[in-house]
Amino acid sequence: MFSARSQGPTAGLSPLLRRPRSSYGSIALCALIACLAFTWLPPVANTRADDAAKPAVAVESAAGQTPAAATEAAHDHSAETESHGDHGADDAHAGEHKEEHAEHHSPVAPLLAAIVMVLFGAKIVGDLFERIGMPAVLGELFVGILLGNLAYLTGMFGPEFHGIDFLHSPAEGSIGNPYDPGAALKMLAEIGVVLLLFEVGLESNVRDMLRVGASSMLVAVLGVVAPMLLGVGVGWFFLPDRPFQTWLFLGATLCATSVGITARVLKDLGRSQQKESKIILGAAVIDDVLGLVVLAIVSGIIQQAGQGGEFALSSLLLIIGKAFGFLFAAIVVGSIAARPTFKAACYLQGHGLLLATSLVICFGFSYLATLVDLAPIVGAFAAGLILEHTHYQELGKKENIELEEAIKPLTALLVPIFFVQMGVNVDLSSFLTNPSVWALAGALTVAAIIGKQVCALGVLEKGLNKLAVGLGMIPRGEVGLIFAGVGLSLRMPLTPGGPMEPVVQTSTYSAIVVMVMVTTMVTPPLLKWSLGRPTAEQAA
C-alpha cells in the first residue's frame, strides 16, 4: 500500500533501492571508514593478551625460586635463547616493529576503531531490519552476536579469526589497560542504558498511570505475577543445580513488557484509539514500573546473598520499602523541584542548557538510586517520569528545541552500543556444545508467551478482544535485554564460602536473549492477525 506520492519511476523498486543517492554516499563513506578501522585490528587484538601475558610470565618465573635457582634458570633460559638462533632474532625484530607501531598510534585508537565498527554495523543492519518490519533493536543485537562470535563462526570453516576479540568486556577486576576498548565500550553501554530508561520515563506520565482503569491495572499485575511464577518454575526444572536466586532472576526477566514495540504496531495499524489498545498501553507502562521494582527486589536479594547475609522476611520488606520509597520520593521531590530548576537554568548564558539540565537530573537520580542499593536505571526512569513538558517548556522555547529532540543525538550514539554489547555477550558455541540451552530457551519463550496470555483474564469489559490484549503484552524487547544484562553483572557465592560467580551464566544469558528475540519478532504479525479477526460477541 503506497500513497499517490510514491507512484513514479522508482515506485516498483524495493524500499531498499528507493534510498536517496545521498544515503548511498553516506553508506559508502561509513564502509570506507570501517575498512580503515580494520587496519588497526592486528595490534589492537593483541594488546589485551600481551598485557595479560607479561605479568603472568614474570610471576611464573619468579614464584617459589631461591636466588641460586633463579640464577640457574636464567642461565638455562640464556642457553635456550642462543639455541634458537635466528628465530630469536626474528622475534626481537617483531617486538621492535610492534613497539614502533604502538608509538605511532594514539592509545585511544583501538576504542575509536571499535566504535566505528559497532555503530556502522548497528545502523546498517538496524535499518535493514526496520525495512522488513522488525524493530531496529533486533538488528543491533544481531550485529553484536556476529561480532562476538566471529572467531567461533570462522573456525567452523577454517582458521579462527580473533581480530576483534577486543570487543569483549574484560573479566571483572582484570582491567590493566585504561584504554581497553572492551571496558570502554561497556562503560558507554552503561550510560546508554541509563539514557534509554530516561527516555522511556519521558514517554510515560504519572497522571496517565493514575487514570488507567481497573482493567489496565489488573492486566499489568497479572502480567507480572504469572510470568514470574512460570520463570521460577522453568529455572527449577531446567537448572536444578543453580541456586534459587538464579530461578528468581529468570522469573524477573519475564515480567516486563516492551511498550515501544507494541505502541508502534498499534500506530501502524491505526488502532491506537481502540479500547483494547488503551488497555494494552496503560498496562504496559505500569508493567515497566512494576518490572523495575521486581528487578530492584531480586537484585537486592542477590546482593544480600553475595554479602553472606541470611534471607529473612524483614530483609525482603526492607528491599521492597526502599524500591517503592525511592520511586515515591523521587516523584514527589522531583515534581516540586523540576520547574524551579529549569527556570533557574533560563538565566544562564550559553547553548545546550536544556540538555545539560536534564542530564544533571537524570544522572543525579541514577546516582541517588545506587546509594540505596538500587540499579541506576531505576533512578533514570524516575527522572524521566517526573519531567513533564510544563517543567521545561520555557527553556525549550528559549533554545527552540524540545527535550525529546535534544537527547536523541546522545541516544542514537550510546543506545546502539548497549544493544550490540548485549549481543557480544551471547555465546553461540553453548547451543552446540550444550543442547539443553535450546531446551531452556524454548521453555523460557513458551513461559513468556503463556504468562502474558494469563494477564488477558484481567480485562473486565465484555465484548473486547482479550486475545489481542494478551498478545500485545508479549514482547520483551529492550526491557528484557536490560534485565538480562543486570543478571550478568550480579555475583554471589554458589556455595557457602565459595568464590563469587555470576548469577546468570553465559549459556543461560544466551537462552534469555533467544527468548527476547523470539517474543519481539512474533508479536507484530500475531497482533495484526488478532486485531483483524472479530471477537466471539461480534461473530455472534
pLDDT in the model for residue 449: 92
pLDDT the model gives residue 161 = 59
DSSP code of residue 311: P
Inter-residue contact 255 to 291 (CB < 8 Å): yes
Cα distance between residue 25 and residue 22, in whole Å? 5
User: Are 329 and 347 spatial neighbours (Cβ–Cβ below 8 Å)?
Assistant: no
Class of domain 181-539: mainly alpha
Domain boundaries, given as residue ranges, for the chain: 41-104, 181-539
Give the integer Cα–Cα distance in Å for 368 and 378.
Answer: 10
Label each residue of 143-189 as H, E or C.
HHHHHHCHHHHHHCCCCCCCCCHHHCCCCCCCCCCCCCHHHHHHHHH
Reading the block at residue 481, the C-alpha cell is 535485554
Q: What is the pLDDT, as a whole number, of residue 213? A: 74
Q: What count of residues does the chain have? A: 540
Q: Which of 509, 489, 508 is nearest to 299 (CA)?
A: 489
Non-local (6+) Cβ contacts of 282 within 8 A are: 208, 209, 212, 213, 216, 220
pLDDT per residue of the chain (540 residues) written in tens, 0 to 9: 333 333 443 333 333 333 444 444 445 445 544 544 444 444 444 444 444 444 444 434 444 444 444 444 444 444 444 444 444 444 444 444 444 444 456 778 888 888 888 899 999 998 998 888 788 888 888 998 888 888 777 776 656 655 565 566 665 544 556 667 778 888 898 899 899 889 888 877 777 766 767 888 899 899 899 999 999 999 999 999 888 888 999 999 998 787 777 777 777 777 777 888 888 888 887 888 888 888 888 888 887 776 766 666 777 788 888 888 888 888 888 888 888 888 888 887 778 888 888 999 999 999 998 888 888 888 898 898 888 776 777 777 777 888 888 899 999 999 999 888 888 888 888 888 888 899 999 999 999 999 999 988 888 888 888 888 888 888 887 778 888 888 888 888 777 677 778 888 888 988 998 998 898 888 888 888 888 766 555 555
Report pLDDT for 216: 84
Global pTM value = 0.72
Bridge partner list, 492 = 501
Cell of 32: 570506507
